[in-house]
Structure 1
Amino acid sequence: MKAPLFLLAAFALAAPAPGQEASMDPGTVGSPEVTATALPPVELSVAVDKAEVTISDQLTYTVEVTAEPGIDPELPEFGEDLGGFRLVDMGAEGPTLLDGRRRWKRWYTLAADLVGTYVLPEMTVPYKDASGDRGQVKAPRIFVEVKTVLEPGTKDIRDLKAPEALPSSPWPIILLAGAAVLLIGVGVAVVLVVRRRRRRPQPPVPPHEQALEAMRRLGRQQLLEKGEVQRFFFELSEIFRFYLERRFSILAVESTTEELLPRLLGLAELPAPVRERTEEFLRQSDLIKFAKTVYELDELRRLAELSYQIVTETTPRASEQEGRG
């Protein structure tokens, strides 16, 4: 069995300073000793964990962005153009700190229903630096081959058998003909049903279901018990803000708390008590993430439970969901 093949593409738009030459790898035999060039302000990489899959397989598509402090990349929504794939699941991490740079990560679980060559489209991430100048980084498209699950050498069409002698009575022929017509009718009906189901778009996962499941997965990691408090609240805050953005159609993931709170005030469907608890969670999370404020374990668990309660209490009612649909 072939080992999984990983495809990784990383592109960043960053030009060297005037007069500066691109550095060579000091570890290359016989290469001159030169100084290493600085990292670009924003780096984008995309990858799939398998280059070849079968119809019964799923693959994971990963997007990772790193940026210097003060730069705000605008990660695009992935889902409108899947290159023919079906979206099964998705998740997000970050921003986290890695070697003095901010890091965002998105992952998507995809599946294919038909055999063929699929192309995940090119991705572009615009950004704005601290001085207000805008730029963008790109990652190329990725090709994935979807193959059949039939074993090698298997024949779809069997060889013809020798003709058999017809019976003297016509009734066996009539019964066989009737059974054949019935089987053909059933086969046509099955094909039509399968085609309709394949053409029917998969309904998106509701924001509250996606957020609650992501919170449960994060809780099972037991990061608070392991002392990884900052990492826990970075990921929990990202999940919570992503929920607010999808649930209320406001910009939340890439906004600061001070930018987000006025937008919450304008939401008629967000009661004042829930809005106050939302503000409490956002501000306390910021203190833990950036000011490294120390809380007792019970208080940390209470804040985590508070985010879970807010999502539960703001879940749309059935009538509201039907109205939106």
Structure 2
Amino acid sequence: MPTPRHILISLIALSSLFGCKKEESKPLPKDQLTVEYSIDRDVLQVGDPVELNVTVYYPENGVLQLPPIGRGKEIVQLKRDSSVASREDGLKQSTTQYRITSFRLGDFPVSTNSITCAVGEQMLTTSFPEAVLHVKSALTADASDKLEDIKAVRKLPDVIPRWVWIVLGAALVAFLAGLITSRLWKNRKQRTPEPPPLPPHVIALNALQALWDKGLLEKDECNLFYTELSMILRIYLDGRFQLNAPDQTTEEIVWEMSRSVELNQAQQDILQEFMKQADRVKFAKDHPDRQTMENAFNTTKQFITETKVENEPESKIENRKSEIGNS
């Protein structure tokens, strides 16, 4: 007689035998579309992502077309990945993974369009999965819909205290005031105006005296004597008659002075004779005696004295000479 233990073992064996038997899958039709889908959640808050997987089985020689599911702010497609694989039963399997969300409150179907598949001249059609998103507000039920007032701008503390800027500004003003006062104090007295330049004849007569004091006549240095004497006369002509005499030839000076109405014929002859005599000494190596050199000196001095401008008394000229000497 079988014991209870034997009966229990037999039941377990029978249960294992029938329980491990694999359930055969139902064959899919080949003349129509089969759609399966899964969604990780259908209740969400605004902006939360939702994963939607859509699998379509269709004929091997068919061309599958899935509709777009983006629709304004109600349904926003964030990402879409697709893959296609062939099956042993002669069908193709298309798997599409959507990541979607919504920025509107309410209930919104993911898509109301159809899935189509062209098989030759035949068009197979089926509806998109009836997935609906239920978008809820993140606010609590007792939350107020009134906007809060904007808070006042909060001023950040100054990096440098205000009193430091005040002290620096006062110091700058004091420095500028002291600088201006110092310069005004230094320039409180007007500078004495410089005396006007000496007349050309005074400059020439002073130069003649300096030449005479060199003693070139006693040293018999006639070339140097005539060179300096002719330069004194040329500078005088430049200042007195506005000639460029230091850079002109003797012929140019004589020709221009011959047209001057301020010289009489005797003065023109004196000028011409001296200039030619000086050229003979400087360029032709002429060597006049001491008496001739003294005559040339006196003639030049006479020419300057006779042709000077008589527009200032000698006393004023002497005063100006002393002022220039003191300065």
Instruction: Settle same-fold status: TM greater than 0.5.
Output: no
TM tier, smaller: 0.3 to 0.5
Larger fraction in helix:
2
Give me the TM-score of the superposition, normalised by structure 2.
0.37
Give me the TM-score of the superposition, normalised by structure 1.
0.38
